[in-house]
Chain A
Amino acid sequence: MSEETWTPSKKKSLLDPRTKLLLIFVEAVLVLATTGGERLFWFRIVFAVLPFLLLLSAKRYKICIIGLAVLCTIFLLEYTVFPYAHGLSASMLVLVITIINRFLPAYLTGVYVIRTTKVSEFKAAMEKLHMPDVLTIPMCVMFRFFPTIREENEAIRAAMKMRGIRFGGGKVGKMLEYRIVPMITCAAKIGEELSAAALTRGLGKYKKRTNICHIGFGWADIVIFLLVAATVLYWILGVFA
């Protein structure tokens, strides 16, 4: 594998898919589940800023601006409105602020990873990690499928709105049936086509597949690895200190 293979696109993303997985992992443990408590506060800030930088590097300016806007609104709420709130409204506010502060970085990381990783790259990375096919193929399909579900859901929502089936439309009970059933039907149909397409790509065989994607670690990956290593080290030192 020493010679340069043909890569399908010139625009290689900054990070290796494996690094992206590690990032998701770290965001889940550190930011979402807030492991390590107060001691890791500054690391958490770093990992909260990171997705913004990554989105910028991938030229996803729109989502980056939306994220920043949400964050600014939250900070404004926290420092201007919150000191004057009392009782129930205060606790609701705290809830919203905390949830968004906690979920936003992880969500943005997720968006970055899904938008910049091709399914083939993901598969190649998983193969290098020696994950079994029975887990990776369904996961590949899932990643491919989420945007589709979203699209279909939008279309179904629009169609059902016309019939008055929406929240506050007086037919909430029917929502379950009339929103979920069409979605599943669509998904099942699309899924059939997807399996046909995947079979032509050799996913149906037990033989080892070849992969055209050329993945490897670069300087950015090393930076992330060092950052994660530093976090873990600092955390462990804190546990034993």
Chain B
Amino acid sequence: MSFPWANEYKPSHPFMQWMDEKLPLPRFMYNAIGAGYPVPRNLNYMWNFGVLAGFCLVIQIVTGVILAMHYAANADVAFNSTEHIMRDVNWGWLMRYAHANGASAFFVVVYTHIFRGFYYSSYKAPREMVWLLGVAIFLLMMATAFMGYVLPWGQMSFWGAKVITGLFGAIPLVGEPLQHWLLGGFSPDNAALNRFFSLHFLLPFVILGVVILHIWALHIPGSSNPTGVEIKTESDTVPFHPYYTAKDGFGLGVFLVLYCAMVFFFPNALGHPDNYIQANPMQTPAHIVPEWYFWPFYAILRAFTTDFILSAKLWGVLAMFSAILVWFFLPWLDKSPVRSGTYRPLFRKFFYVLLIDVLVLGYCGGAPAQEPYLMVSQIAAIYYFLHFLVILPIVSSIERPDPLPFSITEAVLGNDDAAAIKA
């Protein structure tokens, strides 16, 4: 869908007219990310992160394809081939650091994008499908990142793979056979490494496909905005190009400065030193920790320390997956008709508690599995589940929201005479 006032694509050059008749790809782009797509005029910088996430995916695919030209997925030589890339391949160190830090950057951007969605309730009608596809992308990203981290075949690669695939062993009855089938053996080895490489190469393109669906679904209702008030008239919108291409260009610049500073000056700051030790199945590291972007969920996994009907391990696995799956139900759990957290005083307080709660969980997930971190993560995990499953449904039915602006234009300019007369 688009709005009736959207600019129409009118190619002036004969070649573009010819092209428009045969394959209207330029028209498609014009209507998707060009001057033919009207967007709310009041989007703040939190709305830059969707484009940034797309850019991160491109960085990962480009650097990843180049790395795959030099990498060897074989347990005997994987670690050596990674060092070969770092030392002997021209610009190999840049490709590998760009890829490893690109994964971190991707998660920073996507977590910001997701929390933007929480605050502004981007999941609410009519954008439920955009949200569902987004959660699916996040799950695919987690799978891709996990398998990518196994490929250098360092100590954390190996033991991380062992711990995470070991989770399947907690499933009753079919757990162990399933785990062995997934790994192609009793423990991560050549078979697992090879299939992880294959899937790590495949999944980004699956992500790309779902990203296209995500954007398609977004273009049907159009972007939401910081007031959460839907578009009423033309004065509420600006064409995507040049307004948001310019704004995204600036956002991209800021992102690239920070990202390149990490790549060139602190490339190992977010990595674990143990992964520069070749995988050794006979030697367990003192503390097995995943990459930082999994820490909140890892903390939830480890927070269950007591058997209750089910084993503690199975509770942990169920809770860890539920922690993300619960996002799928958000459109139906939060029934408040008001979208933006800006006009929801009670919801807003709980949102900030959630933000701090997830940071606490992240800290505990990176810390050793001992006290006091376990007790802290237990409290934080309780809040996490209560927030989504209990607090949100209740808050949305008891809260009295603040008055909303009449329109986006009024929110920006202080008055919206044209629309008021029409109304």
Q: Do the two shown chains form a genuine complex with each other?
A: no
Interface residues of B (CB under 8 A from A): none
